[in-house]
Structure formats: C-alpha cells, structure tokens
Homo-oligomer: A and B are copies of this chain.
C-alpha cells in the first residue's frame, strides 16, 4: 500500500475515526485504525466492537493495499504536521511497518495485519430514510442530557429513537430519562421512516453521531434494524449496535393533568436558580420554588453555610404552591429552552412537573420534585 494525501484531508478522516477508539484497550488491534487504499480513495476504519466509524478521503493511490496502525499515534503525528503538507503513507508488510513521510519528517509505525481487524458484520436494515442534519441534531441535543449513567439500568443508557403518535400524526421521537427527569423531543416523520423499529441509541454513539451533524446543509442517511443503527454522510459512516433492552413506557411518566401554569423567561430563571444554589452544599442541591400571583420566589436553605432567596416577576395565576427540585435538573431543562419562555405545568408538590418551550408540544420535559 502506498498513497499520498493532503494533510487536512488525512487529519479530518483520522480524527473522526480515532475518536471512537477507547483510550485503554486490552485487545491491541482495537487501538488501531484500519487503512484501506484503493482506486482514488482511502478508507479509515476504527471500532470499539460496539461502534464502527468509516471515513473516506480522496488520495493519490500508487499501490492499493491495507494495514492497521495505532490510531492515536497516527492522529497525533498528522495533527502536528505543518498545514498544507502532502503526506505519503507506505506500508511495508514484510517489516510490519507503516512509513509516514511529510517534508523532512519521517515516521515508521508498528502495524498489525489487516486480517486481525474486527470489521463489523454488515447487516440488513429494516428501514432506511434520510433526515436533515439539523433535525437529528435537535432530536439528540435536546434529549441526551437526560440519559442515565447508571450501569445497572442499561436500558436507560441511551436515547430511545422511535416512531410515535402525536397530535398531528406520526412523528420521529427521541426520549431519554434517568428516572429523575425525562426529555421527549419530536420531529416530522421523514419519508420512509414509518416502519422503523424503536431503538435505544447508546450514549457514546450519540456523542460520535454529533460530529456528523454540524453541517446544517447535510442530509444524513439513517438505517435502522432491531440490533443496529447506521448514520451516514457521503464521507463518513457510523454504525452502532443498539442497546439490547426494552425502554420503559415513558408515556405513563408524562403528566397530562397538570394545570398550574407558570411562564418565565428561561434565561432569567436559569440564572436565578444558579445564583441561589450557590450557598447549598454540593450533595443535596435542593431549590424551593414558592409560587404566588405573578411572583416566584426561589430559595435555598443550607443550615451549615447559609441561605439564599431571589424573587422573579413571572406569569402565574393559579393557587399558590411550594415545590422543591434538584437545582442541577432545573438548570439543565431550563437551558434547553432557546426560543421562547419556559412554561412549567405543576400539579402538587409531590407530583412530576412538566416543562415546555412556550406552547410548543414538540419538546417536552418532565422533572421529579424533591422534598424541601
């Protein structure tokens, strides 16, 4: 194998591939990236056995072939090469080395045979559709904060992507929850997605996927089966196993009968929550909300360190109410609001509270109260 490639194209491809590689590997080949050169193109493939990323880059291939080399080392080298450099990669399979040359720099890296590299089995997908990057970005960005990190509840360690019934008909929906808070985000159902099986996309996959979604103009090809999900742009293909478990029936958690309605400027609210929570000890960051007519008082009482109180002018016309929340959870859901006021719908101080952005039903958040 021998090919020349522009440093910028090589860096982009290797960066995206290497980020899926786990830093600590007991299986040496998993630290490597598989490089395959053929035609006018080179593929960089990396995997952690659950996720596989394949990046394609244009190159001048002098001799087709393939080898594997340490992903982070190659990435570091390419990152440090001068901008604009032309890089020549040459595999010497007899010596078990890959040579990387650029200008007066010359690197010789240990390789492992391509045969040892675990290429993810191709599989049949039940459904394939296309969705704008911006739509997928919103679905995952607004839900991923609620993903559980508790390993025992593995079926909550991802975002549940599925087709659901909403008021206006079927939607593409992402839901995440850790039992304390829940996010439910809807988007118009893309053509061809209606038969999609519901899948739990693992947290790490959501993080890797995010890198494909920055380009507002991009269309992402999505393929889904019971066991795998694939997201692809022309240059990058991200394939991931999905979590083998049943996502709980979240609809039962979403309160439908909450009638006490608070409307508040989300930014002002978040800042006030952040301020009053400063005095509390880090463990139990409980914030009390006292609601009266068009008036919200946020308070924290931490016997050891002190107390804090702040009043906000809000829109509230229902019966007065006292309710407590974890400050972190309140901050996280308030920071999801980007266009309108936050609307909270309360029932009693012991019941889950619903939040949404204005009257938009396509993004709904639920947060459990805590005793204060």
Contact = CB atoms under 8 A, between A and B. Distances in A.
Interface of A: 70, 73, 76-77, 80-82, 97, 104-110, 271-272, 274-276, 278-279, 304-312
A105 B272 contact: yes
A197 to B, nearest CB: 43
Given A274-B80, A275-B80, A307 B108 contact: yes
B110 A305 contact: yes
A292 B279 CA distance: 65
A89 to B, nearest CB: 13
A313 B73 CA distance: 26
Nearest to A300: B107
Nearest to A305: B110
A275 B312 contact: no
A67 to B, nearest CB: 13
Given A80-B278, A107-B276, A110-B305, 13 more contacts: A73-B306, A76-B278, A77-B308, A80-B274, A80-B275, A82-B271, A104-B311, A105-B308, A105-B309, A106-B309, A108-B308, A109-B305, A110-B304
Contacts of A276: 105, 107
Given A80-B271, A312-B104, A109 B306 contact: yes
Contacts of A271: 80, 82
Contacts of A104: 310-312
Contacts of A306: 73, 97, 107-110
22 contacts: A73-B305, A73-B306, A77-B278, A77-B279, A80-B271, A80-B274, A81-B275, A82-B271, A97-B306, A104-B311, A104-B312, A105-B276, A105-B308, A105-B309, A106-B310, A107-B276, A107-B308, A108-B308, A109-B279, A110-B304, A110-B305, A110-B306
A279 B81 CA distance: 13
A335 B312 CA distance: 51
A76 B311 CA distance: 19
Nearest to A304: B110
A224 to B, nearest CB: 39
A274 B79 CA distance: 11
A110 B275 CA distance: 17
A333 to B, nearest CB: 19
Nearest to A76: B278
A271 B81 CA distance: 9
A108 B310 CA distance: 12
B110 A73 contact: no
In the complex, the 3 A-B pairs of residues with the closest C-beta atoms, listed nearest first: A109-B306, A104-B311, A105-B310
Contacts of A108: 306-308
A114 B275 CA distance: 26
Contact of A107 (B73, B81, B109, B279): B279
A82 to B, nearest CB: 8
Contacts of A308: 77, 105-108
A140 B271 CA distance: 39
Nearest to A79: B278
A77 B309 CA distance: 12
Given A73-B279, A279-B77, A107 B274 contact: no
A107 to B, nearest CB: 5
Given A80-B271, A304-B110, A305-B110, A278 B73 contact: yes
A340 to B, nearest CB: 22
A162 to B, nearest CB: 39
Nearest to A298: B105
